[in-house]
Amino acid sequence: MKMRRLLQICVVVTIAVSCVGACVAQDFRVPDSATAGEETAISTSGGGKGTFYLLGPGVARKNDVTLGEEIKLSSQDTRTAGAYTVILCSDSCHSAVFFVNAAKPTSLTFLAHPSRVPVAQGDAVSGVAFPFDQYHNLVLAPATVNFQITAKDSSLWSRAVRAENGVAWFRTASGKSAGLVQLTATLDDLLTRRAVQQVASDACNLRIMGERTRTGITVQTEPVHDCAGNVLPDGTIVTFTSIGPHGRGTVDAPIKQGVARAQMEAEGATTISAASGVVLGNEIRIEARP
Amino acid sequence: MKRGDQRRDRGSVRSSFILAGLILSLAAIPVSYAADANVQVHLNTNKTGPRAVEPLTERGILRDYRFAWASMAQALQFNTLDPLEGPFQGDAKQWLRQTIMSQRESSLSRRYADQSHQLEAVFYAPEGDVIELHDTAQYQVQILDGNKIIQDQHIVMHYVVLMTPGADRWVVRQLQAVPQF
């Protein structure tokens, strides 16, 4: 009987002694918030050994730790913004979550549309900018992005836009002059450029002239401009149509250096007209060969 | 034992094998479908701007976001990279790959269940080349160290999501948890 009592006491004492090392209640404190790529620490209390787990975007770590000591998280651990779960296990497991916020912006992603646009078109040019930190986290903190359109170092348009939910955007009309324009998005000292080619719009006052030659009729346009005076780009097609005693014929001719030319075969009196896109030009009549 | 009993036993063993085979094949075939079906996604486009979200686009986003979460859950549970090919691109894909590699090294895994996502489209670019979503996600997540569950918790989490249209689907480019919107 005495022997059994002694054994019971021994068991209780053994458990108590072993618990001094491991059964001290553990507690820990995670940071209220942290910044991506910055070192931070988790303070623990209690004593003995424990197992520490860190699970977050881009990290899943497991370490043996001594309770009561601070657990350091390196800048590598917290590079990605998001939610991090900390679990500390000794006799039981406890968990907490903390958030890592994006660091300050170091790049500006700028999507601009289109790359080629006719002049004087309403709401034809748009741009969207997203600020990112050096670890490619989307920066959600309020910021003002300045958008600007420039041509040959002169500003054509600009607007300051407050980024909401990590995005700033604009939409505006294309300019009046054909040529290359630059779109820029600026945030503090960050600047991103995009180029947009503004091209002439539809032809305006399309006029043609023609003369009979030995082999037929030569027709050509006057220099083709849009309504803002921009020369239509090379390659724009002008369609010449002839109507004569032998019927109807059409010839497509590309504009070269502002002028489209065509040679048409036609006997007898012929009426010739021209069109470019939806724009119709004048009609001319070439009389029959005398 | 009588000869008739032996025959009956052989027959029942055979039918048990057939039944087990059927169950196994049924369980194996629709793994991705089953995972996908367990993800509930609702999308609200009432406050979206500047571009309106067309019904077909909405359907595509719902389908592809659901698939992305099902794939992510599968990847993080089995520590395999294959499910990330397709639904994720860019930074989201990169950190997910890192997470899986890191989980493999530490013998950790995560098991997601009962996912429900309330999506709100907050920005749809004028040219339709990027959409920003706010996701209030709820799910049960188990964290496992080897085969031991060290945490089993119901989570409500807020995510800021950037999706862009790919050749045949919408892909997740940014998936960033935030304390609140």
Can you tell me the ipTM of this complex? 0.81
Joined together, the tokens standing for residue A260 give 């489209």
Nearest-angstrom CA–CA distance, B47 and B124: 10
- Report the residue of chain B nearest A56, measured CA to CA: B99
**Average pLDDT rounded to a whole number, residues B105-130:** 96
| Residue A267 confidence (pLDDT) | 81
Close Cβ partners of A63 (under 8 Å, ≥ 6 residues apart): A51, A52, A71
Least Cα separation, residue B176 to chain A (angstroms)? 5
User: pLDDT of B58-84, one tens digit each?
Assistant: 999 999 999 999 999 999 999 999 999
- Report the residue of chain B nearest A86, measured CA to CA: B151
Strand order in the sheet with A33-35: A33-35, A93-101, A82-89, A49-56, A59-66
Contacting residues of A for B161, CB less than 8 Å apart: none
User: pLDDT of A258-278, one tens digit each?
Assistant: 999 999 988 889 999 999 988
Domain range list for chain B: 1-30, 38-178
Confidence of residue A64 (pLDDT cuts 50, 70, 90): very high
**Average pLDDT rounded to a whole number, residues B92-99:** 97
0.90 exceeded by the pTM? no
| Residue B37 confidence (pLDDT) | 59
Confidence of residue A290 (pLDDT cuts 50, 70, 90): confident
| Residue B73 confidence (pLDDT) | 97
- Residue matched to tokens 């002439």: A200
Say whether pLDDT at B89 is over 70: yes
Contacting residues of B for A85, CB less than 8 Å apart: 143, 151
CB contact under 8 A, A55 and B108: yes
Q: Which of B94, B91, B96, B48 is nearest to B69 (CA)?
A: B96
CB atoms within 10 A of CB A5: 9
Nearest-angstrom CA–CA distance, A98 and A38: 14
- Asked if the domains A2-101 and A107-199 are classified in one and the same CATH topology, the answer is yes
Q: Which of the pair, B37 or A195, is modelled with greater confidence?
A: A195
Confidence of residue B33 (pLDDT cuts 50, 70, 90): very low
Say whether pLDDT at A58 is over 90: yes
Cβ-contact A179, A198 below 8 angstroms: yes
Asked: is A203-286 a CATH 2.60.40.10 domain? The reply is yes
Q: What average pLDDT does chain B have?
A: 87
Nearest-angstrom CA–CA distance, B15 and B4: 16
| Residue B149 confidence (pLDDT) | 95
User: For testing the chain A interface, which of B138, B144, B151 should be mutated: the one with the most A CBs within 10 Å?
Assistant: B151
What's the alpha-carbon Rg for chain A, to the nearest Å? 38
- Residue matched to tokens 């571009």: B51
Q: Which of the pair, B19 or A51, is modelled with greater confidence?
A: A51
| Residue A288 confidence (pLDDT) | 83
Phi/psi of residue B71, nearest 5 degrees: -70, -40
User: pLDDT of A138-189, one tens digit each?
Assistant: 999 999 999 999 998 889 999 999 999 999 999 999 998 999 999 999 999 9
Contacting residues of A for B132, CB less than 8 Å apart: 165-167
| Residue B21 confidence (pLDDT) | 53
Q: How many CA atoms lie within 13 A of A50 on its CB side?
A: 30
CA distances (Å), A194 to each of A183, A191, A285, in order? 5, 10, 49
Question: For A2-60, what is the HEC assignment?
Answer: HHHHHHHHHHHHHHHHHHHHHCCCCEEECCCEEECCCCEEEEEECCCEEEEEEEECCEE
Confidence of residue B20 (pLDDT cuts 50, 70, 90): low
Say whether pLDDT at A132 is over 60: yes
**Kind and range of the H or E run holding B19:** helix B3-28
Least Cα separation, residue B94 to chain A (angstroms)? 8
CB contact under 8 A, B107 and A128: no
Q: Which of the pair, A22 or B69, is modelled with greater confidence?
A: B69
Say whether pLDDT at B47 is over 80: yes
Percent of chain B with pLDDT over 70: 80
What 3-state class would DSSP assign to B69? helix
| Residue A135 confidence (pLDDT) | 96
What's the longest Cα–Cα distance across chain A? 146
What CATH class has B38-178?
A: alpha beta
Q: Which of the pair, A22 or A265, is modelled with greater confidence?
A: A265
Domain range list for chain A: 2-101, 107-199, 203-286
Say whether pLDDT at B10 is over 90: no
Hey, what's the torsion of the CAs at A273, A275, A279, A282, to 10 degrees? Answer: -20
CATH assignment of A2-101, among 2.60.40.1930, 3.50.50.60, 2.60.120.10, 3.40.30.10: 2.60.40.1930
| Residue A17 confidence (pLDDT) | 36
Q: How many CA atoms lie within 13 A of B32 on its CB side?
A: 8
Joined together, the tokens standing for residue A263 give 């040679």
- Residue matched to tokens 């491991």: A22
CB contact under 8 A, B143 and A137: no
Close Cβ partners of B148 (under 8 Å, ≥ 6 residues apart): none
User: pLDDT of B146-168, one tens digit each?
Assistant: 999 999 999 999 999 999 999 89
Q: Which of the pair, A223 or A20, is modelled with greater confidence?
A: A223
- Report the residue of chain B nearest A63, measured CA to CA: B106
CATH (residue range A107-199): 2.60.40.1930
CB atoms within 10 A of CB B139: 21
Say whether pLDDT at A195 is over 60: yes
Phi/psi of residue B67, nearest 5 degrees: -65, -40
Confidence of residue A133 (pLDDT cuts 50, 70, 90): very high
Nearest-angstrom CA–CA distance, B81 and A91: 34
